[in-house]
Amino acid sequence: MEENLNPTALTSQEPAMDNNNRAAPEPAPEPDDHESGGDTPGSPEDYKLSFAQDAQVDTSLLGRFQETAHELGLTLAQAQKLADFYAGHAAGLAQDYQNSRQRALNDYIEARNAELARRPDFQAELVLARKTLKEFGSRELAEALQQTALGSHPALFDFMVKVGQALGEPAFKGAGPPSPEPPPLYERIWGKDGQGASTS
Protein backbone atom coordinates (compact mmCIF):
# COMPACT_ATOMS: atom_id res chain seq x y z
CA MET A 1 0.00 0.00 0.00
CA GLU A 2 1.22 3.48 -0.83
CA GLU A 3 2.61 5.41 2.14
CA ASN A 4 1.04 8.67 3.30
CA LEU A 5 3.11 11.76 2.69
CA ASN A 6 4.36 13.35 5.91
CA PRO A 7 2.82 16.75 6.72
CA THR A 8 5.08 19.70 5.96
CA ALA A 9 5.84 22.47 8.43
CA LEU A 10 3.25 24.78 6.88
CA THR A 11 0.53 22.23 6.22
CA SER A 12 0.56 19.98 9.29
CA GLN A 13 -2.57 21.65 10.65
CA GLU A 14 -4.40 21.66 7.34
CA PRO A 15 -7.18 19.10 6.65
CA ALA A 16 -6.02 15.77 5.36
CA MET A 17 -5.49 15.88 1.63
CA ASP A 18 -6.44 13.19 -0.83
CA ASN A 19 -3.20 11.46 -1.86
CA ASN A 20 -4.82 9.85 -4.90
CA ASN A 21 -4.22 6.29 -3.78
CA ARG A 22 -5.29 4.03 -6.59
CA ALA A 23 -6.09 0.36 -6.45
CA ALA A 24 -4.31 -1.95 -8.83
CA PRO A 25 -6.23 -2.15 -12.12
CA GLU A 26 -8.65 -5.02 -12.40
CA PRO A 27 -7.59 -7.70 -14.86
CA ALA A 28 -9.33 -7.52 -18.19
CA PRO A 29 -12.02 -10.14 -18.76
CA GLU A 30 -10.93 -13.33 -20.45
CA PRO A 31 -12.32 -13.75 -23.96
CA ASP A 32 -14.59 -16.77 -24.13
CA ASP A 33 -13.93 -19.73 -26.39
CA HIS A 34 -16.62 -18.63 -28.80
CA GLU A 35 -14.96 -15.23 -29.25
CA SER A 36 -11.47 -16.64 -29.78
CA GLY A 37 -12.64 -19.72 -31.58
CA GLY A 38 -9.31 -21.30 -30.61
CA ASP A 39 -7.97 -20.09 -33.95
CA THR A 40 -5.27 -17.62 -34.85
CA PRO A 41 -6.77 -14.29 -35.99
CA GLY A 42 -6.29 -13.56 -39.67
CA SER A 43 -4.22 -10.39 -39.19
CA PRO A 44 -2.44 -8.49 -36.40
CA GLU A 45 -5.30 -5.97 -36.31
CA ASP A 46 -7.73 -8.78 -35.48
CA TYR A 47 -6.16 -9.20 -32.03
CA LYS A 48 -8.77 -7.14 -30.21
CA LEU A 49 -7.32 -7.06 -26.71
CA SER A 50 -9.15 -5.79 -23.62
CA PHE A 51 -7.56 -3.71 -20.85
CA ALA A 52 -8.75 -2.32 -17.54
CA GLN A 53 -10.54 1.01 -17.88
CA ASP A 54 -7.85 3.04 -16.11
CA ALA A 55 -4.92 1.28 -17.80
CA GLN A 56 -2.58 3.42 -19.90
CA VAL A 57 -1.93 1.62 -23.17
CA ASP A 58 1.11 2.35 -25.32
CA THR A 59 -0.45 2.12 -28.79
CA SER A 60 2.93 1.76 -30.48
CA LEU A 61 3.91 -1.15 -28.24
CA LEU A 62 0.45 -2.66 -28.65
CA GLY A 63 0.84 -2.66 -32.43
CA ARG A 64 4.19 -4.46 -32.21
CA PHE A 65 2.70 -6.94 -29.75
CA GLN A 66 -0.17 -7.69 -32.15
CA GLU A 67 2.28 -8.28 -34.97
CA THR A 68 4.42 -10.60 -32.82
CA ALA A 69 1.38 -12.51 -31.58
CA HIS A 70 0.28 -13.08 -35.17
CA GLU A 71 3.76 -14.20 -36.24
CA LEU A 72 3.82 -16.72 -33.37
CA GLY A 73 0.37 -17.99 -34.28
CA LEU A 74 -1.15 -17.18 -30.87
CA THR A 75 -4.87 -17.45 -30.38
CA LEU A 76 -6.73 -14.40 -29.12
CA ALA A 77 -7.06 -16.00 -25.66
CA GLN A 78 -3.30 -16.66 -25.49
CA ALA A 79 -2.48 -13.11 -26.60
CA GLN A 80 -4.90 -11.71 -24.01
CA LYS A 81 -3.20 -13.68 -21.22
CA LEU A 82 0.18 -12.27 -22.19
CA ALA A 83 -1.24 -8.76 -22.40
CA ASP A 84 -2.78 -9.15 -18.92
CA PHE A 85 0.55 -10.36 -17.55
CA TYR A 86 2.39 -7.35 -18.97
CA ALA A 87 -0.28 -4.88 -17.79
CA GLY A 88 -0.07 -6.25 -14.25
CA HIS A 89 3.72 -6.04 -14.30
CA ALA A 90 3.65 -2.44 -15.57
CA ALA A 91 1.12 -1.46 -12.88
CA GLY A 92 3.40 -2.97 -10.22
CA LEU A 93 6.39 -0.99 -11.51
CA ALA A 94 4.35 2.21 -11.46
CA GLN A 95 3.29 1.54 -7.87
CA ASP A 96 6.88 0.80 -6.83
CA TYR A 97 7.98 4.10 -8.38
CA GLN A 98 5.25 6.01 -6.57
CA ASN A 99 6.15 4.41 -3.23
CA SER A 100 9.84 5.18 -3.77
CA ARG A 101 9.02 8.79 -4.65
CA GLN A 102 6.92 9.20 -1.52
CA ARG A 103 9.64 7.72 0.68
CA ALA A 104 12.12 10.21 -0.80
CA LEU A 105 9.70 13.10 -0.20
CA ASN A 106 9.12 11.97 3.37
CA ASP A 107 12.88 11.87 4.01
CA TYR A 108 13.18 15.37 2.55
CA ILE A 109 10.29 16.71 4.67
CA GLU A 110 11.70 15.20 7.88
CA ALA A 111 15.12 16.72 7.21
CA ARG A 112 13.70 20.15 6.38
CA ASN A 113 11.33 20.14 9.38
CA ALA A 114 14.27 19.28 11.65
CA GLU A 115 16.31 22.09 10.09
CA LEU A 116 13.51 24.61 10.68
CA ALA A 117 12.95 23.40 14.25
CA ARG A 118 16.56 24.29 15.16
CA ARG A 119 15.88 28.00 14.57
CA PRO A 120 15.77 29.98 17.84
CA ASP A 121 12.39 31.63 17.10
CA PHE A 122 10.88 28.66 15.29
CA GLN A 123 7.68 28.28 17.35
CA ALA A 124 6.70 31.94 17.00
CA GLU A 125 7.59 31.96 13.31
CA LEU A 126 5.65 28.75 12.75
CA VAL A 127 2.48 30.21 14.26
CA LEU A 128 2.86 33.34 12.13
CA ALA A 129 3.60 31.44 8.90
CA ARG A 130 0.63 29.10 9.35
CA LYS A 131 -1.66 32.02 10.18
CA THR A 132 -0.54 33.77 7.00
CA LEU A 133 -1.24 30.69 4.91
CA LYS A 134 -4.63 30.18 6.54
CA GLU A 135 -5.77 33.78 6.10
CA PHE A 136 -4.40 34.58 2.67
CA GLY A 137 -3.84 31.21 1.02
CA SER A 138 -6.33 28.71 -0.34
CA ARG A 139 -6.96 25.00 -0.09
CA GLU A 140 -5.39 24.58 -3.52
CA LEU A 141 -2.23 26.34 -2.34
CA ALA A 142 -2.07 24.20 0.80
CA GLU A 143 -2.46 21.06 -1.32
CA ALA A 144 0.31 22.19 -3.68
CA LEU A 145 2.65 22.90 -0.74
CA GLN A 146 1.90 19.48 0.71
CA GLN A 147 2.18 17.48 -2.52
CA THR A 148 5.45 19.13 -3.56
CA ALA A 149 6.90 19.22 0.00
CA LEU A 150 7.52 22.96 -0.44
CA GLY A 151 5.65 23.59 2.80
CA SER A 152 8.91 22.69 4.59
CA HIS A 153 11.30 24.62 2.33
CA PRO A 154 13.19 27.22 4.42
CA ALA A 155 13.01 29.91 1.70
CA LEU A 156 9.24 29.61 1.39
CA PHE A 157 8.89 29.43 5.17
CA ASP A 158 10.89 32.67 5.49
CA PHE A 159 8.69 34.30 2.85
CA MET A 160 5.50 33.38 4.73
CA VAL A 161 6.97 34.72 7.98
CA LYS A 162 7.94 38.02 6.31
CA VAL A 163 4.48 38.40 4.81
CA GLY A 164 2.89 37.73 8.19
CA GLN A 165 5.17 40.25 9.90
CA ALA A 166 4.48 42.91 7.25
CA LEU A 167 0.72 42.43 7.36
CA GLY A 168 0.64 42.24 11.15
CA GLU A 169 2.34 45.56 11.88
CA PRO A 170 -0.02 47.54 14.14
CA ALA A 171 -1.26 50.86 12.82
CA PHE A 172 -0.97 53.72 15.32
CA LYS A 173 -4.31 55.40 15.94
CA GLY A 174 -4.67 58.39 18.27
CA ALA A 175 -4.58 62.13 18.63
CA GLY A 176 -2.18 64.27 16.77
CA PRO A 177 -1.34 64.79 13.15
CA PRO A 178 -2.22 62.00 10.72
CA SER A 179 0.37 59.31 10.25
CA PRO A 180 2.29 59.30 6.99
CA GLU A 181 1.11 56.82 4.41
CA PRO A 182 2.85 53.48 5.05
CA PRO A 183 5.03 52.12 2.26
CA PRO A 184 3.39 49.53 -0.01
CA LEU A 185 3.40 45.88 1.06
CA TYR A 186 5.95 44.74 -1.53
CA GLU A 187 8.38 47.42 -0.30
CA ARG A 188 7.92 46.39 3.33
CA ILE A 189 8.70 42.76 2.39
CA TRP A 190 11.53 43.19 -0.12
CA GLY A 191 12.69 46.78 0.50
CA LYS A 192 12.97 49.62 -1.99
CA ASP A 193 15.86 47.98 -3.80
CA GLY A 194 14.28 44.52 -3.87
CA GLN A 195 17.07 43.11 -1.68
CA GLY A 196 15.07 42.61 1.51
CA ALA A 197 13.27 44.77 4.00
CA SER A 198 15.29 47.55 5.60
CA THR A 199 16.33 46.89 9.19
CA SER A 200 16.81 50.58 9.98
Residue 13 lies in a domain: no
Residue 181 lies in a domain: no
Could you give the count of Cα atoms lying within 13 Å of 88 in the half-sphere of its Cβ?
Answer: 9
Residue 188 lies in a domain: no
Residue 9 lies in a domain: no
**Pick from 168, 161, 150, 166: which is nearest to 124 by CA?**
161
pLDDT of the residue at 167:
84
Residue 190 lies in a domain: no
> How far apart are alpha carbons 36 and 28 in whole angstroms?
15
| Residues of the domain holding 48 | 33-167
pTM, two decimals, is 0.50
Structurally, the chain folds into a number of domains equal to: 1
Residue 72 lies in a domain: yes
DSSP H stretches of helix in 46-178:
59-71, 76-117, 122-136, 139-148, 154-167
Residue 156 lies in a domain: yes
pLDDT in 10s for each residue of the chain, 200 residues? 345 778 888 887 654 444 454 544 555 555 444 444 468 898 989 999 888 887 888 888 889 999 999 999 999 999 999 999 988 888 888 889 989 988 998 998 999 999 999 999 999 999 999 999 988 888 899 999 988 889 899 999 999 999 989 887 654 344 445 556 667 766 767 677 766 655 54
Residue 195 lies in a domain: no
